[in-house]
Structure 1
C-alpha cells in the first residue's frame, strides 16, 4: 500500500470561491463608475444651465428617482432566476447608438440628445449583460427618463401659453368679484398700483411636469390593474395642477396688493410653490380612492 501525499493548496486557495462570488458585484460597481464618469459632464451642464430655471428645477429630483427606479428593477431582477440569455448583437448595436448620441449631443451642445442617449446605453448594457427580461422590468424607468429631458421652449410653449392665460383669467375674475381693482392684458395682471406677470413658474409649468411625473410614478408603484382608472387619474393631474396654481397666483396677488412686491416675490413666492405642489400631489390619493369606489360594482 502506497501513501500519496496531498498537495499543499498554497496561500489563498481557500479564498478563491469567495473571490468568484464577488466578481459580479465588482464588475457591476466598475460599470456604474464608468457610467457615472461618462455622464458627469452632461449632469454638470444640466445643473449649471437648465436646473436653475424654475420650470426645470425638478430635474435633480427626477434624476434621483430615475436612478432609484433602475437600481430597484435591476436588484429585483438579479434576485430572481430567469431563463433569459444575453442578446449580444442587439445590445452592442444599442450601446453604440447611445454612445454616438452622447457624442453628438455633447459636441453640438444639445443637452436633450445627450440625456436621451441614456436610454439606448442602458438598454444596450441590459441586453449585453442579461437579456430582454431586464429591459421589461426597467420599462417604466425608460419612460420616466422623458421627464429628465430639458425640452426646448418652442415645444413647452404649446402647454404653457394656454395654462398661463387660463390662470390669469381665473385670478382676474376672482379678484374682480371680490371687489379688488384689477385689470388683465394677456398674462399681465394689474392689481391696484402693482403689475404682475403670470410667468411659467407661476403658471405651473414646473408643478405640471412634476405632478405628471410623480403622479405616474404613484400609479406605477401601486400597480393598478385597471388601465381606465390609470388613464383617468393621469388626466386628472392637469386640472389639479391648474387649480393649485390658480390658488397660488391668487395668494401672491393678494400678498402683493396688501404687503407690497417685496413680500410676495421673496420667500413667500418660493414657499407657496412648494406648499401648493405638495398639496396637489396629496390630492392624488383621495382621487384614486374615489375612482376605486366608483369602479367598484354595487
Structure 2
C-alpha cells in the first residue's frame, strides 16, 4: 500500500521540481534565441566557425544528461551569488547586443546559466554542471585581434616545417614568408590553413573525450590536454604538406577543389585518432595509470 502511494506521488513531485526550470528555460530561449539565430546566419555559417553550433548542442545535451542530478542536488540555494552573476550576465548581454560585440552577447549565456543553478539549487548543482558550462566557452567566436595575433606565427611555423619536410624528401621547394614555391606552382599558406580554429576545436573535443572517458588521474588529464595543442599543429602541418603534394602531382585545380576540403576533413580525423593513441600511451606510464577502486 505504501509502495503504491509512493508510485502515485512521484510524477507529481517530478513535475513540481521541473516547473521552475521550465520557466528558466523559457526565459533563456527568449533572451538568446535571436543571438543564436544571428550567429547561425553570420559567423557560424563560416566553415572555420562551424564548430560553434556543435559545441552549443553538445553542451546542452550534457546539461540535459546531468539534469536529474542537478535538480536533486543537496544544499540550499545561493540567491545572492546567483543575483550577482545574473546582473553580470544581463550587463554583458545588453552591452554586447547594443554594441555588436558578439563575444559578450553569446558569452552572457554562461553566467546566466550559472545564476539559474545557484538561485534554484545552490553551489552543489553548479558543481555537478561545471563541465557543460565550461565547455560552452569553446562556442564563443574568437576575437579578431586575437586571431590575427596568433595566426601569423602559426602560418610561419606551418610553412617552415612543411618546407623542410618536403625539401628533405627531395622536392624542389622554396619559401618566402608564408609563400611556398614548389615546382611551377606558388602556394600561399592562408589564414584558414594556419590551424588556429582547428586547434581550438580539437582542444574542445579532447576535453569532451576526457570528460566522457572520465580518467581519475589528474596528471594524465592535464598532460593530455596540453598535448592536444602540438597534436593539432602537427595535423595542420600534415594538411599543408598534403595539399602541396596534391597540387604538385595533380595540378592546381585538384589542390584548390574538392581534395582541399577533403584533406582537411581526413586530417582532422587523423588528429582525433592521434589523441586516442597518445591517451593510450599515457595510460601505459605507471605514474599516469588509473587507480583501481579496490
Length-normalised TM-score, structure 2: 0.87
Q: Matches of residues 283-294 of structure 1 in structure 2 within 5 Å?
A: 283-294=274-285
User: Matched residues in 2 for 1:213 and 1:18: separation?
Assistant: 37
Taking the aligned partners of 1:66 and 1:17, their CA distance within structure 2 comes to 28
My pick for the range that moved more, 28-37 or 236-245, is: 28-37
The answer to whether 1:270 aligns with 2:261 is: yes
Question: What is the CA distance between 1:19 and its match in structure 2?
Answer: 5.7
Cα offset, 1:212, TM superposition = 0.6
Q: Is 1:100 equivalent to 2:91 in the alignment?
A: yes
1:61 Cα deviation (Å)? Answer: 1.4
Q: Are 2:55 and 1:62 aligned?
A: yes
Structure 1 residue matching 2:141: 3-state secondary structure: coil
Q: Give the aligned partner of residue 143 of structure 1.
A: 134
Q: CA deviation at 1:193?
A: 2.6
| CA distance in 2 between partners of 1:159 and 1:144 (Å) | 22
> How much is the aligned-residue C-alpha RMSD, in angstroms?
2.3
In the alignment, structure 1 residue 153 sits paired with structure 2 residue 112 = no
Higher-Rg member (1/2): 1
Number of aligned residue pairs? 282
Gaps (5+ residues) in structure 1?
1-14
Aligned residue in 1 for 2:24 = 31
Contact persistence 1:167–1:246 (CA under 8 A): yes
Stretch deviating more after TM superposition (62-71 or 126-135): 62-71
Q: Are the counterparts in 2 of residues 84 and 132 from structure 1 also a CA contact under 8 Å?
A: yes
- Tell me which residue corresponds to 1:6: none
SS at 2:42's partner residue?
helix
* Alpha-carbon contact 1:95-1:121 (below 8 Å) kept: yes
Deviation, 1:249, is 1.0
Contact 1:244 1:277 in 2 (8 A): yes
Give 1:292 shift.
Answer: 1.6
Residue number in structure 2 paired with 1:134: 125
Q: Distance in 2 between matches of 1:249 and 1:83?
A: 52
Separation in structure 2 between the aligned mates of residue 268 and residue 187 of structure 1, nearest angstrom: 21
Q: Return the TM-score normalized by structure 1.
A: 0.86
Following the alignment from structure 1 to structure 2, what is the Cα–Cα distance between the partners of residues 270 and 187? 20
